[in-house]
Amino acid sequence: MLTPHLTTQALPVGFGCAHLQYLSQSRPGSLRLLEEAFDHGITHFDVARLYSAGEAEGVVGQFARGRRDRIVLVSKAGIFPLRQTFYHRLDRKIRTVAKAKAPKLSRWIADAVHEPLFNKFSPKDIRSSVEKSLRELRTDYLDALLLHECRAVDVAFFDVPTTLDKLRAEGKILSYGLATSVEQSAAITQSFPKLASVVQIPGRSFNAQAWPFLSEQGRLVITHSILTESLRPLMILLGRHPAIRQAIQSKLGFDLSAAPDLAQFLMIRALKANPSGLVLFSTAKPEHIRRCVEAAKVAKCPDSHERVIECLRLVEDVA
């Protein structure tokens, strides 16, 4: 079940906090980054227990103080985080080297206990994860809880819907959904359709024709990682087609020979591919936040629709 708070945001973009502490290097820097996003109209903040070795939620919670009723907080359960103290880094290094030097002994050398723990979907684990998220985020509720890298077999084995319904009845989560691969999202949706009111997937996987369940009414699709695999290859490709770059620059004002402008263009493409959903991005640079917000406004503007579609068609033709 979707809540109005999830579906009525001013901008169809959200700030992904997966690398928050690593990107900005410091807690004050992370807070400034979140404030910059909020000041530019972004209200959707995506986090998880796993992110930034378990530190991201605490930073987002500090930022959310005094703003909770004006922002959407989405977190995840299913993966317990990696801890990054000096002892844990040294412990992992010793175990890794020992396994590499003595492969025959690998089965006797336990994995480092601070490695992320996957498939933590038991009722106890989900509840523990949610309670921890609420404390770190300094809030009484999550706008949405997503199942992190969940598989259909996990949902069935642990009777996950029952746990989520109890948490929602208690007011600790307002809605729930999936944050996994599109293949697993499809498999889960077939047997547990109500788990997929929110589906969060990599941007390259969004294809309404190949996966029609993504376009079903009453479902919010959130895409992410739109630059991960596309930015550099597309820049190289367009380097061989100066006429197309010039045409796009004349129509939209974007210089696609420059990475920041190309990133803006890819954001527009992702928003056009997912017109009823939301697109996440992460950055450590305030300037990139401004550019992503500008891209969202261009993508939404009816006056620019035909120009945008024409430019997208030019790129798809050469791609």
Q: What CATH code is carried by the domain that includes residue 187?
A: 3.20.20.100
Residue 220 lies in a domain: yes
Question: What was the pLDDT predicted at 71?
Answer: 97
| Three-state secondary-structure class, residue 221 | strand
* Distance in angstroms (rounded) separating the CA atoms of residues 211 and 310: 25
Lowest mean pLDDT among 90-94, 173-177, 212-216, 284-288: 90-94
Do residue 220 and residue 306 come from a single domain? no
Nearest to 272 by CA among 319, 226, 235: 226
CA angle 234, 40, 230 (to 5 degrees): 10
- At 184, list the tokens: 């697993």
Do residue 315 and residue 204 come from a single domain? no
* Distance in angstroms (rounded) separating the CA atoms of residues 83 and 75: 18
Lowest mean pLDDT among 79-83, 145-149, 232-236: 79-83
Instruction: Tally Cβ neighbours within 10 Å of residue 23.
Output: 16
Q: What does the pLDDT average to over 118-123?
A: 96
* Burial degree of 277 (CB within 10 A; 0-12, 13-18, 19+): buried
* Distance in angstroms (rounded) separating the CA atoms of residues 314 and 319: 9
Residue-number span of the structural domain to which 262 is assigned: 228-273+300-319
* Distance in angstroms (rounded) separating the CA atoms of residues 99 and 107: 9
Question: What was the pLDDT predicted at 92?
Answer: 63
Question: What was the pLDDT predicted at 263?
Answer: 93
Lowest mean pLDDT among 108-112, 156-160, 213-217, 309-313: 108-112
Please determine, for residue 25, whether its predicted confidence score (pLDDT) is greater than 70: no
Report the domain count for the chain: 2
* Burial degree of 242 (CB within 10 A; 0-12, 13-18, 19+): exposed
pLDDT in tens, 262-296: 999 999 999 999 999 999 999 989 999 999 999 99
pLDDT in tens, 31-52: 999 999 999 999 999 999 999 8
Do residue 166 and residue 262 come from a single domain? no
More confident residue, 113 or 307: 307
Record the pTM: 0.88
Question: What was the pLDDT predicted at 48?
Answer: 96
Do residue 269 and residue 159 come from a single domain? no
Question: What was the pLDDT predicted at 85?
Answer: 65
Question: What was the pLDDT predicted at 107?
Answer: 67
Q: What's the distance, Cα to Cα, between the start and end of the chain in Å?
A: 38
Do residue 234 and residue 218 come from a single domain? no
Nearest to 155 by CA among 133, 187, 182: 187
